[in-house]
Structure 1
Amino acid sequence: MKELLSIMNVESKSPEKEWVSHPRKCPICDTSYGGNCIAAYSLPQYSQYGNNIENYLLYVLYHCNYCNKLFLSIYNKERFSEKGYQLEISVPRDYHSIDLPESIRALSPMFEETYNDAYEAECHGLNTVCGLGYRKALEFLVKDYLIYKEPNEADKIAKMPLNAAIQQKIDDKKIKVLAERCAWLGNDEAHYVRKHEEYNVSDLKDFLNAITSYINTELLVEKAYKIERK
């Protein structure tokens, strides 16, 4: 949701007004944000060799009604961009581990550990490395799922490249599509050139969470089939 903020330009000492999107969550209590802006300040950023303005940084102090604490959100706006201010980070960030379904934790303990390590990195603003962690978590989840389905093929599956495992071993079309796209986006986090520039870590997480949900549903259905009527 966007709000028209009254912003003070630190350099010119002049007031400005601009529409800015609220953070989706409070970084301290991890609750959907519902609060108000306390203050907002903008500051132009100049090129290293010259007086040309390259971008603007916006610092917004928010109050969270849920935990009754203050946090700071930092936004960036490129000089000639029509997108306006884009949220970069909100601080301070308190780390809360993700409570994954019990069936997923039992299926792949390393997925749970790796996913939460990546999430902790993301919570601390380590945006250049958390994507790699989610990509690694994907591999643990996919391979442990496939080994669960084909225990006699465990050694072969463990040594397969992730893409080969996805293409050759996953039967469910929805899981296959999600895993394939998730791997593509994960690979972008590891390489110099991004092949899918319109997507980011948030999309990678969305796909990974969807895969987790589908696998969890499959495991719960199997559990339900084992219940006999009495």
Structure 2
Amino acid sequence: MKQAITFSTGYSTVKTLNLNIPNICIHCHKEVGFILKSTTDYNYQTDTSVAVTFLCPSCEKYSVYEYNGINASQQIARLVDYSYTKQISTHLPKNIEKVSADFVKIYNQSQTAEAYNLMDICGVAYRKAAEFLIKDYAIRKFPEDEETIKKDALGQIISNKLNAFPKIQNLAKATAWLGNDETHYVRKHTDKDLADLKAFLLAAATFIAADYDADEALNFINK
């Protein structure tokens, strides 16, 4: 979107540039109409770039955009292509990566998708993370059935391999149900949402990590 923006030159004059203004906020990633808040001064003798500060009306955060390639005779202004990335902090139970390194990797990617407001795909990603966690846990408990566990549906694994671990089984079942809702056209469980899916998944991971620690303690005692 083009917008005419005026810059002070510092000599009681102004320079107007017709700039290409982005319409996607770098913070909330929504399509918005930015509110112009401030501009840098422009000295046509020394400056070849300017900067503009905008306010997002949706998340109320500021963004600064730089334009370069400006000269006195031609009003050329190119938007500088900055790359912005979010810092994602993941807090998973200790040692869970020893049960399923793939779960940790996929969970981190799921959090990244959610942080960038990709709400139509992050739930599917959490559902995939849950499958890797539960299947890797089942393989750890039943290594002789590894190939069957890899191929069977997640629901079968939960029903057939987690009977001895009812709390994990219940959490895994709830996670799978809500995860399936994230992949289907019509939701079955309209009273639950993504936050519930994540809560059940993290609780399952906590129990699984604790079970790993208990096995490690048993091995230590037996030695």
Could you state the TM-score of these two structures normalised by the residue count of structure 1?
Answer: 0.59
Q: What's 1:175 paired with?
A: 168
**How big is each residue's C-alpha offset from its partner over 1:101-143, in whole Å with a ceiling of 9 and x where there is no partner?**
4521122111111111111000000001000000000000000
Distance 1:202 1:228 in 2: 39
Residue identity over aligned pairs, in percent, reads 39
1:200 and 2:190 equivalent?
no
- Larger Cα-atom Rg: 2
1:218 and 2:191 equivalent?
no
Distance 1:150 1:227 in 2: 21
Distance 1:139 1:161 in 2: 9
Contact 2:126 2:179 in 1 (8 A): yes
1:140 and 2:132 equivalent?
yes
Residue 155 of structure 1: how far off its partner (Å): 0.3
Distance 2:211 2:62 in 1: 40
Count of residues paired in the alignment: 149
Q: Structure 2 residue aligned with 1:130, among 122, 136, 150?
A: 122
Distance 1:140 1:221 in 2: 21
Q: What's 2:33 paired with?
A: none
Distance 1:99 1:223 in 2: 22
The structure with the largest strand share of the pair is 1
Distance 2:91 2:136 in 1: 19
Instruction: Give the direction of change, closer, same or farther, for the CA distance of 1:191–1:121 in structure 2 (3 Å limit).
Output: same
Q: Which amino acid aligns with 1:213?
A: T
Contact 2:155 2:173 in 1 (8 A): yes
Q: Structure 1 residue aligned with 2:158, among 152, 166, 187?
A: 166
Q: What's 2:184 paired with?
A: 191
Partner-residue secondary structure (3-state), 2:199: helix
In structure 1, the gaps of 5 or more residues are 1-26, 29-57, 62-69, 73-91
Q: What's 2:149 paired with?
A: 157
In structure 2, the gaps of 5 or more residues are 1-26, 29-56, 64-83
Distance 1:93 1:205 in 2: 23
Partner-residue secondary structure (3-state), 1:95: coil
Q: What's 1:104 paired with?
A: 96
Contact 1:167 1:176 in 2 (8 A): yes
Contact 2:100 2:133 in 1 (8 A): yes
Q: Which amino acid aligns with 1:198?
A: D
**How big is each residue's C-alpha offset from its partner over 1:146-186, in whole Å with a ceiling of 9 and x where there is no partner?**
00011110001111100000001102111111111110100
Instruction: Give the direction of change, closer, same or farther, for the CA distance of 1:142–1:169 in structure 2 (3 Å limit).
Output: same
Distance 1:93 1:183 in 2: 30
**Coordinate RMSD, CA, aligned:** 2.7
